[in-house]
Amino acid sequence: MTTFEFDEPFDKLHEECGIFAVYGHPEAGNLAHLGLHALQHRGQESAGIATSDGKEIFCHKSMGHVAEIFTAGILNGLPGHSAIGHTRYSTAGDTAILNAQPFSVTCNKGSIAVAHNGNLTNAAELRKELEDHGSIFQATSDTEVILHLVARSGQKTLPAALREALLMIEGAFSLVFLAKDCVIVARDPYGFRPLAIGRMNLSSGPVYVFASETCAFDLIDAHYIGDVEPGEMVIIGPNGMQREFYTVPQRRAQCVFEHVYFSRPDSLVFGRSVQHSREMMGRLLAQQMPVDADIVVPIPDSGVAAALGYSHASGIPFRHGLIRNHYVGRTFIEPSQAIRDFGVRLKLNPVRELLKGKSVVLVDDSLVRGTTSQKIVRMVRNAGAREVHVRISCPPTLSPCFYGVDTPTKRELIAANQTVDEIREFIGSDTLDYLSLENLGKAVVDDDQRFCYACYTGNYPTDLVNIEELMVARPNH
Residues belonging to the binding site are: 255, 302, 364-365, 401, 452, 455
- Name the β-bridge partners of 389: 361, 431
| Cα dist from 264 to 40, 100, 108, 246, 466, whole Å | 10, 23, 40, 30, 33
Annotated binding residues for Mg(2+), written as ranges, equal 302, 364-365
How many other C-beta atoms are found inside a 10 Å radius of the C-beta of residue 326? 8
How far apart CA 406 and CA 354 sit, in angstroms, is 35
**Distance separating alpha carbons of residues 414 and 398, to the nearest angstrom:** 8
User: In one letter, which amino acid is 375?
Assistant: K
Distances (CA, A) of 303 to 174, 215, 296: 27, 19, 11
Point out the catalytic residue in the list 17, 59, 215, 394: 17
Q: Give the angle subtended at the CA of 268 by the CAs of 230 and 186, to the nearest 5°.
A: 25
Give the C-alpha distances (Å, rounded to integers) separating 273 from 30, 37, 173, 210.
Answer: 27, 20, 22, 17
- 182 flagged as catalytic: no
Give kind and range of the element (H or E) at residue 29: helix 28-38
**What is the Cα–Cα distance from 15 to 450, expressed in whole angstroms?**
19
CA distance linking residue 176 with residue 171, whole number of Å: 16
Q: Which residues contact 201 (CB under 8 A, 6 or more apart)?
A: 207
Active site residues: 17
